[in-house]
Amino acid sequence: MSLLEVDDVVVQFGGVTAVNHASFAAHAGRITGLIGPNGAGKTTCFNVISGLQRPTRGKVRFDGRGVTRLPVHRRSKRGMGRTFQRLEAFGSLSVRENVRVAFDIHRGPIGWIRPSSADVDALLERVGIASYAGERADSIPTGTARLLELARCLAGQPKLLLLDEPSSGLDETETDAFGELLQELAAEGRAILMVEHDMDLVMGVCDDIHVLDFGSVIASGPPSLIRSDPAVQQAYLGYSDVEDAADSADSADSADDPATVTQVLPVVHEEVR
Amino acid sequence: MTTFLAFTVFGLFSGAAYAIAASGLVLTYTTTRVFNIAHGALGMVMSFVFWDFSVRQGLPTWLALVLVLLVVAPATGWLLQRFVTRGLGEGPVSVALVVTVGLLVGCIGFATQIWPPEARSVLPFFPTTSFEVGGVIITGHQLLTIVLSAATALGLYLLLNRTRIGTAMRASVDNPELLRLFGGKPDTAAALSWAIGVALAALAGVLLVSQVGLDYYALTLLVINAYAAAMLGRLKSLPMTFAGAMALGLATSYASGYLPTDGLLNSVRNVIPALFLFLVIVLMPQAQLRIGQVKGIVSAPLPSMTKSVGWGAALLLVVALLAGSFADSDLLLVGTAATYAMVMLSLVLLTGYGGHVSLAQLTFAGVGALAYAKLDEPNLYGLALSALIAAGVGALVALPVLRLTGLYLALSTMAFAYLMDKMVFQAEFAFGFNGTLPAERMSVLGTSITSTGGYVMLMAVFFVLTALALLLLRRGPVGRLLIAMRDSPAACGTLGLDLRWFRVALFGLSAGMAGLAGALYAGLRQTIGAADFQFFNSLPLLLLAVVFGVTSVTGATLGGIGLMLLPVMQSDHPGIAGLIFAVIGFGAVAAGRDPNGLANQLFRVGRLAETRLLPQVRERLPRLPERGEVDAPAEAVVPGLADQRPDSRPDSRKVPAHVAP
């Protein structure tokens, strides 16, 4: 049985449909990739799953129970963890303190008595950012900050990891190491759902892939099938080869990129500070 | 029936004026994301300018009107956007709030300075024209107001939907960067919206002034009505804003006509807008967590505990010396400073660490004082209970707005403070109308402290203890969580923190600290009344806390002394009373972006002394065991402290590690 089921989810912002009847699943012990062109609704899907965005229609089931109306923090308690495409590190705390906060939240006031330093250091070691431990989180490189977000998530021992473009900002060697880390994490029994533009990484580590285009799932299956799917090639702007498309998507991928921004825009519009 | 119609006409007239003001507020907010608390204050200043032109200088009314509405007000708005509020919308909400509160206080100071208090009046427009409809008289002025409000609605609709710049204005709220990318000019749109916004505030002020009178405060606070109306439209929808304004105008008018003139219900009539605002905020739908990093968050300095204790002891010594040498009247001032400093400590927790703004901190102190006087238990038990009651009230204020964040929380504290001031504190069961209550000085563990010197010393001890507790809190898990919540609420949520209850607890704790200060103050003064805790005084309190540094205990101490000196200076030099206010207000506008405030400059000097002078002094001393050799083992004894050492963080080098309590 799948750990996470997204069932017929629709998200509308005013007249714009960001997610259009999307259904997909993620399984324990497997890495699931969520790919698609910019603006396809991937991050919006993540927001729906983690509870930051209420869907217009549809359901999210996690660990056998419906969580569609559950607040963000309760989903986390049930075992969801996520990272953000636009970094959400605690900028004025050190890298080590960032992870300590995660432990503090996870363990609750009674757990504060138990010192967490050793656990924190072990976790920083594991994701490979121990050398940054003392630095302020807003002063470290983007790739490192993404790993920090992953470490922070892992402190809560999640069953499901939602990783939003985790490898952007990492160089090739780092990406390889990161791929291995992901496979280790999955082998320990976690479900990993990952939005990612690096097609080498996606094709290399994912067990299942779902392709989103204009908010709809247009293809699902193992990497070998996705690679040759004509609908997927069409979605990547007529490129005959998915990997070429991914390269172009990668280079266009930045916060100022209009397509990315339009995808995030309606969220900004709705929020109330 | 005729009376009913008369009240309806009056309600529609005031509703129309509120609608004009509220639509200006919505326009500036939607375009620039800055909620202008000073909207009413700007309208007030513009009404004074109008009076100056038309009455004092004797210009024709139409010319004065044209000058104010089409020249002075838009120019003011344009300048404000250019030099004051630009970029504020992308920063933390607390900064924008503090800056606009500063603007409000600055406007009041400015008006008081330029136009000192005297009897002034402005005639309504068309004073001789009136119409009779169904036995009810509608004055020309009332009709004009209603027509102008409809014209405003139409004009704004056309501007926003039918013009290029209007589209840019609607777009720039979502993403100014994107707008720039597509060739739009977000700055022009922002400046235009502020120009129009202030012009609308001026129009509302000029229309209301003949009714309300030229008063620094009445017109400024009338804007609460505008907030309330704008809130109904969730600061977005102009039609809802107009509907809200009309409903509010009618409700206020009917209340003044039909509510009984005695008892609690009588006081309700003054607070209908605040009640309305509170209700609307409570009924607002759930806010979504903000994703995306907030720009311009400043981290608070964190002193070492040894230094904190040292400075605390030094402060106690100074107070002890003062207590021995000062006359009682001067000691009362020292005690007042200690009270304000303690209230500001509660703001260090709430604003400096937590990033929330409260405009009711003095009201919470009042709750503590009221509880202390009513309990009549002048001992530690009564003190603790008073603080607890204040904490409970603080949590209750935060509770209904649990689902909302930042701005709405701050506005609900403002509504709460207004309600308490006008309704509860003045009620029979509290201080009574213009009344006071006696309060006894407390005894500590059986020893009663009756002398003013001893009592002031006791207050200083409480201040130092609270400050140390606060610093301990900041170093521990709670402090880390507070900073984390301020830096990224969305990440805290996805990590499993229930932000809502955490926020309620934070508000409660902060209100409790203020309540403790209030209870001690009651004992100090021995008589206490509503006048000591006026709603408006929470604003300069907040501003001074920010100017002196709302992130440090040093800032709170200096701010407390500053606020205590304020009335002293005003009574010593009545000629510049307004100027002092203006300096504080505009000072906060200038300093609002750096909540570390003046205290930070002090730290900088201290750091300089430490890095430049200390080594020189040390060189000349005979060589003793190095400091490091002594310090290092001492720190290893405390587990988990090593990683919080200020020196281990790159930024803290900018902020030296010592803070005087």
Which residues in chain B (90-149) have CB-CB distances under 8 A to chain A? 93
Q: Do A271 and B498 touch (CB under 8 A)?
A: no
pLDDT class for B68, splitting at 50, 70, 90?
very high
Q: Is residue B402 in a domain? A: yes
Reduced to 3 states, what is the DSSP secondary structure of residue B438? strand
Do B147 and B48 have their domain in common?
A: yes
Mean pLDDT of chain B: 83
Is it the case that residue A168 has pLDDT exceeding 60?
Answer: yes
Tell whether B402 is within 8 A of chain A (Cβ): no
Domain count, chain B: 3
Segment B342-351 mean pLDDT: 93
Q: Tell which residue, B240, B482, B518, B503, has the closest CA to residue B374.
A: B518
Q: Which has the minimum average pLDDT: B9-13, B587-591, B619-623?
A: B619-623
Chosen domain end from B220, B249, B279:
B220
Is it the case that residue A248 has pLDDT exceeding 60?
Answer: no
Tell whether A268 is within 8 A of chain B (Cβ): yes
Per-position DSSP letters for B53-84, written without gaps between them: IIIIS---HHHHHHIIIIIIHHHHHHHHIIII
User: What is the domain range of residue B498?
Assistant: 305-534
B222 and B40 in contact (C-beta within 8 Å)? yes
Q: Is residue B551 in a domain? A: no
B358-377 confidence digits (pLDDT tens): 899 999 999 999 999 988 88
Tell whether A111 is within 8 A of chain B (Cβ): no
Q: Kindly report the nearest CA distance between residue A231 and chain B, in angstroms.
A: 31
pLDDT class for A29, splitting at 50, 70, 90?
very high
Looking at residue A249, what is its pLDDT?
Answer: 46
Report the residue from B33, B291, B639 with minimal CB separation from A84.
Answer: B291
Report the residue from B406, B476, B496 with minimal CB separation from A73.
Answer: B496
Report the residue from A71, A88, A270 with minimal CB separation from B293.
Answer: A88
Q: How far apart are CA B101 and CA B39, in angstroms?
A: 10
B427-472 confidence digits (pLDDT tens): 878 887 777 888 888 878 877 888 888 889 999 999 999 999 999 9
Do B127 and B23 have their domain in common?
A: yes
A105 and B523 in contact (C-beta within 8 Å)? no
Looking at residue B636, what is its pLDDT?
Answer: 37
Is it the case that residue B123 has pLDDT exceeding 70?
Answer: yes
Q: Do B405 and A80 touch (CB under 8 A)?
A: no
Structural domains in chain A, CATH included, are: 1-69+160-165+173-273 (3.40.50.300), 80-157 (no CATH)
Tell whether A265 is within 8 A of chain B (Cβ): yes
Nearest-Cα residue of chain A relative to residue B493: A73
Most confident option among A79-93, B166-180, B645-659: A79-93
Looking at residue B522, what is its pLDDT?
Answer: 92
Mutate to test the interface with A, among B494, B647, B651, B654 (most CBs of A within 10 A): B494
Q: Which has the minimum average pLDDT: A31-40, B171-180, B386-395?
A: B171-180
Tell whether B234 is within 8 A of chain A (Cβ): yes
Q: Kindly report the nearest CA distance between residue A177 and chain B, in angstroms.
A: 25
B29-56 confidence digits (pLDDT tens): 888 888 888 999 999 999 999 999 998 8
Q: Kindly report the nearest CA distance between residue A225 and chain B, in angstroms.
A: 33
Most confident option among B92-96, B156-160, B392-396: B392-396
Q: Kindly report the nearest CA distance between residue A135 and chain B, in angstroms.
A: 6
Q: Which residue has the higher pLDDT, B443 or B229?
A: B229
Q: Kindly report the nearest CA distance between residue A185 and chain B, in angstroms.
A: 18
Looking at residue B656, what is its pLDDT?
Answer: 40
Do B347 and B487 have their domain in common?
A: yes
Chains A, B: CB pairs < 8 Å: 164
| DSSP β-bridge partners for residue A10 | A57
pLDDT class for A130, splitting at 50, 70, 90?
very high
Report the residue from B293, B405, B492 with minimal CB separation from A272.
Answer: B405
Q: How far apart are CA B72 and CA B68, in angstroms?
A: 5
Chosen domain end from B220, B244, B259:
B220
Distance of CA B329 to the CA centre of its chain: 30
Q: Do A156 and B405 touch (CB under 8 A)?
A: no
> Rounded to the nearest 10 degrees, how much is the dihedral formed by the CA atoms of A88, A89, A93, A97?
130
Is it the case that residue B204 has pLDDT exceeding 90?
Answer: yes
Q: Tell which residue, B106, B105, B23, B34, has the closest CA to residue B406.
A: B34
Do B377 and B487 have their domain in common?
A: yes
Q: Which has the minimum average pLDDT: A25-39, A94-108, B427-441?
A: B427-441
Reduced to 3 states, what is the DSSP secondary structure of residue A241? coil
Do B475 and B605 have their domain in common?
A: no
B490-505 confidence digits (pLDDT tens): 899 999 988 888 888 9
Looking at residue A80, what is its pLDDT?
Answer: 94
pLDDT class for B180, splitting at 50, 70, 90?
low
Looking at residue B443, what is its pLDDT?
Answer: 78
What are the CA-CA distances from residue B620 to residues B391, B608, B616, B617, B631 (Å)? 53, 18, 7, 5, 21
10 Å CB burial of residue B49 (0-12, 13-18, 19+) is buried
Tell whether B62 is within 8 A of chain A (Cβ): no
- Burial pattern A60-89, b for ≥16 Cβ within 10 A else e, equals bbbbeeebbebbbbebbbbbbbbbbbebbb
Tell whether A194 is within 8 A of chain B (Cβ): no
Do B146 and B30 have their domain in common?
A: yes
Looking at residue A190, what is its pLDDT?
Answer: 94
Q: Which has the minimum average pLDDT: A97-106, B2-11, B185-194, B610-619?
A: B610-619
Chain A residues with CB inside 8 Å of B290's CB?
271, 273
Q: Kindly report the nearest CA distance between residue A130 and chain B, in angstroms.
A: 13
Which residues in chain B (591-650) have CB-CB distances under 8 A to chain A? 639-640, 643-644, 648-650
Do B401 and B513 have their domain in common?
A: yes
Tokens of B585: 């207000």
Nearest-Cα residue of chain B relative to residue A151: B495
Give the amino acid at B305: M
Q: Which has the minimum average pLDDT: A106-110, B94-98, B301-305?
A: B301-305
Count other Cβ atoms within 10 Å, centred on residue B170: 15
Chain A residues with CB inside 8 Å of B498's CB?
71, 73
Tell whether A86 is within 8 A of chain B (Cβ): yes
User: Going by C-beta distance under 8 Å and a sequence separation of 6 or more, which residues neighbour residue B349?
Assistant: B470, B473, B482, B506, B509, B510, B513
Chain B residues with CB inside 8 Å of A115's CB?
639-640
Looking at residue A227, what is its pLDDT?
Answer: 84
Do B204 and B350 have their domain in common?
A: no
Is it the case that residue A261 has pLDDT exceeding 80?
Answer: no
Q: Which has the minimum average pLDDT: A129-143, A145-159, B107-121, B216-230?
A: B216-230
Is it the case that residue B577 has pLDDT exceeding 70?
Answer: yes
Tell whether B218 is within 8 A of chain A (Cβ): no
Q: Kindly report the nearest CA distance between residue A144 and chain B, in angstroms.
A: 17
Do B35 and B115 have their domain in common?
A: yes
Is it the case that residue B298 has pLDDT exceeding 80?
Answer: no
B504-563 confidence digits (pLDDT tens): 899 999 999 999 999 999 999 888 888 888 888 898 899 888 888 888 888 899 999 988
Segment B643-656 mean pLDDT: 39
Do B327 and B183 have their domain in common?
A: no
Distance of CA B97 to the CA centre of its chain: 7
Chosen domain end from B518, B534, B550:
B534
Q: Is residue B353 in a domain? A: yes
Nearest-Cα residue of chain A relative to residue B284: A272
What are the CA-CA distances from residue B637 to residues A100, B3, B633 (Å)? 20, 79, 7
Count other Cβ atoms within 10 Å, centred on residue A214: 15
Do B509 and B609 have their domain in common?
A: no
Q: Kindly report the nearest CA distance between residue B111 and chain A, in angstroms.
A: 32
Do B638 and B529 have their domain in common?
A: no
